[in-house]
Each structure stands twice: as structure tokens, then as C-alpha cells.
Amino acid sequence: MPEQLYTEIARYLPATPQEAADRETLLGLLREHGTHLLDRDCEAGHITCSGFILSPDLQQTLMAYHLVYQSVGWTGGHADGDPDLLGVALREAKEETSVTKIWPLSGRILSIDALPVPPHEKHGKHVDAHMHYNITYGLIAPAAQPVADKPDENRSVRWLPTQEIAACCTEAHMLPVYDKIIARMRRLAAEKQTLPQAMLTPLLAWYPAHHRALPWRETADPYRVWVSEIMLQQTRVEAVKGYYARFLEALPDVHALADCPEERLLKLWEGLGYYNRVRNLQKAARQIVDQYGGHFPQTYAEIRALPGIGDYTAGAVSSLCFGLPMPAVDGNVLRVMARLQEDFRNVLDPAVKADVTAQLAAVYPQADCAMLTQALMEIGATVCVPNGAPDCEHCPLQALCMARQAGSERMLPVREKKTARRTEQRTVFVLECGGRIAIRKRPSRGLLASLWELPNVEGFLTPEQAIGVCSAWGAKPRTIGKIIERRHIFTHITWEMQGVFLQCDAMPEDFTWADAAELAGLYSLPTAFRCILE
């Protein structure tokens, strides 16, 4: 017996005696026939999967006139051996209507119905009467997208106001099924809207005893909180701790940051990567000094207007430092809310982030803004974790979590597939002469703009080609010491690097020549190049 399939169907809680009987019949057939019940040739009948499609406002449904049933109805089809019933419902909905943007309202089964199928002709062949044990899911699709017929199965695919279904559907026995599914979808959607408010009490009660002690949580100084939030972007907490302490020791306030020479600033940031973060940090510091006399602005709009500060950072500083009821929505918060509300929308869609932000803003408490912001961050970082199973057993929201109830927590959040990262091959030169290494400044625009680099060229060179390039630079190479291979991954590009170590007899002026102490303390080499030297 297929355990996962059986568990999913057994989890369905019937609302009527007929549904209870249909579910028990289906579970009995699964125990008897196993996965054969997913196939069309199972004599006892077979499992089909339907997706009832509503618009996001739940007022319109997308249906098609089916040639077999000679009536307007929902989308769906045979499982054909596939135990992923929700996946089948989504696949059939896309195939039968040509919609591309569509997602489940929930991963839970909305209805199980034993439906008799009369004898009919399909593709010129006679099909005997049989039973469909139909599993229904609720699906959501925006109405503003193209639809098309599937000529071998249906025609007249169209959106209908839900109140017009009865006038278009000639299968009278299906109308009560459609009515109950619409009612259940609306009830589920309404329940989702109550969860942001409902989560406040258990989440705020959980946080004091379970949060991590982090240095930036020991202060409400907006400068220090701001620096930590910028550092934590794209960087792990443990990696940030040391940088945070060193940075604040060197630059303890906004005036020190504004006045810091660029070389020293980049050196303090060396290894954290994404160097535009620290450049924007200094631009904002200078704006705070010039425009606000060195006092950090105290309204969300003013904070949001500073260079390098987006909605999340502005929300974090506003709530953590000034007690403003402004949420800070990042990947952690989006993941928590996606699971809590069992939201299958793409969390990388800016409209989804804006909607989650608005939902939270509507329930943010005046008195506990800072704690709620920290609690949402903390539960996402330590309990409702990414890239693996959430720790539901220790989650204060488990009784409310709709994904937990539906068994879909591992399916969420939904993130659209990223564009494949481009790969470049580069030959990187470690040119040494008299105990000094050749470095040079990168261009002022583009990747690693204005940072120091080891000389490099595109592509992998042979030893002979490498010596030729070095000679053209005027460095008078003597011999190759070694050739190593390294890889560095940026957000959108991967560098496959070949490091060529060359002893040279000349130091051309096109390069800056630095000794080991200067490389360690004066010149900031990005990790992409330091990994060659190390």
C-alpha cells in the first residue's frame, strides 16, 4: 500500500456522511489495490484529480465545456500512475485551460467524491461505465491571462461569475459539489486572514525565553542596529559577529563612518563581500551628517530615503529603535508567513512581499513593535528554517500553522527558479618581484567596482601564453612557480579561476606593488582574489 498517498487521503476530514463513506471506500480500495488504483485499467475504478479554479477575489471560476460530459465544469483528469495528486490537479488545469500563472489555495484535499461515469466514446473508442474516486484541490489563477481550448477534450474555456455556474452546467449532480468547494475555498481564505493577528500572543510569549543573545540586540542605538542590518544582508550571523565588533570599534558613530577614508573603510569590510553595501553605508552616513546634523532620522520615510536602505532595513530600524509599528519583511519573515498561511504564491514576487507587509502592518502592536520584529526574525532563523524540515514540534505557532495541518510545510515557501548563474573562466596572475605582489584597481563600474585585484585576463591560458602576457606587461617573467585552481561564486556569476604564480625581474608602473604587510593592512583585496593568495 502506498503509505504517503494513503496518509494524504486519510488526513482529509469529511464534512458529511456521504463524504465519510466515499473516503472509507477509497481507503479500502487503496489497501486492496495499492497504486494500481492510480491507473485507468483498474477494474474497481480509479483515482482522478480535479482543480477547482477561482480568481484571487474568489468571485470568478475558470471552467471548460467538456466533450465527454457535454457540460461546463471543472478541470481535472486521471492520475495515470502519478501519486502526486496536487501536481496532477495543477498539470490538468494548465493543460485544459492554457493558464500558466496558477497556484494552490491549499495543499489540503477539499473534497473526496465517488462519481459514476456513464459509458461514452473517447477518441473513437468505447469506454464502459466506471467509477471515478475524485480528489479535489482549490486553485487560484489571476483572470488577466490568456486561456485556450484543448480541442481533443474541451472547448469554450472561459471565466464565469460563480453565481452563473448553475446556468451553464447541465450536470445537476455536480452543482452541490461545486457549491461546497467554493464555500470551503472562501472559508479557507478567510481563515488565512485571521492568522497574522492570531499569531501575536504565542509568538511574543515565546520570544523572551528562546531568542539568541546577539550583540546588536543589546542596543537600540539606530547607528549600531543599522550597521548590523546592512552586514546581515547576504551574510550568516556567525560570520557577521566579528566584523560587527571590529567595525564599531574603528567607527563608533555616524561621524566616524562619514569621515573614514575609502581604503580603510573597504579594509574593514574585506571578506564580507557585496561592497556596494558599505559604500552606500558611508553615503547615507554623510547624508545624515549633512542633512540631520549627525542625528539619525526618526521617521520611516526619512530612513527609507537614505542610500542603500530598502523597505526591510527601514522597517527594522523604525521598529527596533524608534518603536514605530513598521514590519521588516525579509526572506525569514516571508517563509514564516508562507507556512503559517499555507501561501503557495511566489515569495520572490514583489506583490507578494507587499501584501505580507500590509497584513503585518495592520496588526503590529504599538507597545511591542521591537519584540515582534525580533520574534519574526528569530523564529524564521531558528525554528521555521530554510533548506530543510522546520522544527514544528518546538514552534509556538504549530497549532495555528495551516501548512502544518495540511502536511505541506516542506513545499513552502514557493520560490521561482532563478536564472542559471553564468560561469566565466579567468587566469589570475600572482606576479612577485623583490618580495612584492602586483595589484591594480578595478574599473569604477561593474563587478567589484574600484576594488583592488590581482592582474587577470579572461579564459584559461597555457603556461606559454601566461608568460607571454606577463612579458607584454613588462614584468620580465623568469619562471612559473605553480598553477592552482580556485572557484568563487557571486550572486549571478561564477568565476572558475586558474592562479598562475610567476617570479619576475621588473615592476612595471602600471601595477601597484605591495608587500605582505600592506596586503594585510592597507589594500583591500576581495575574497575572489584573496583565495588565490591563501
Residues catalogued as catalytic: 229
Separation of alpha carbons 172 and 178, rounded Å:
10
Buried b / exposed e along 152-182 (16+ C-beta atoms within 10 A): ebbeebebeebeebeeebeeeebeebbebbb
Cα dist from 488 to 345, 372, 430, whole Å: 32, 37, 17
Alpha helices in 300-429 (DSSP H): 300-304, 311-322, 331-340, 350-361, 369-382, 402-406
Q: Which long-range contacts (CB under 8 A, 24 or more apart) does 8-16 make?
A: 8/85, 8/109, 8/407, 9/109, 9/112, 9/135, 11/108, 11/109, 11/406, 11/407, 12/108, 12/109, 12/112, 14/112, 15/180
Separation of alpha carbons 326 and 361, rounded Å:
6
Which phi and psi (to 5°) does residue 49 adopt? -130, 130
Cα dist from 438 to 430, 458, 502, whole Å: 7, 18, 11
The single-letter DSSP state of residue 153 is T
The single-letter DSSP state of residue 52 is E
Residues β-bridged to residue 48:
78, 134
Separation of alpha carbons 167 and 63, rounded Å:
13
State how beta strands 493-504 and 422-433 pair: parallel
State how beta strands 456-458 and 477-489 pair: unpaired
Separation of alpha carbons 387 and 403, rounded Å:
16
Reduce the DSSP state of residue 389 to 3 states and report it: coil
Reduce the DSSP state of residue 492 to 3 states and report it: coil
The amino acid occupying position 482 is K
Neighbouring C-beta atoms of residue 12, cutoff 10 Å: 19
Question: What cell does 255 get?
Answer: 561621524
Separation of alpha carbons 132 and 173, rounded Å:
14
Question: What cell does 505 get?
Answer: 625581474
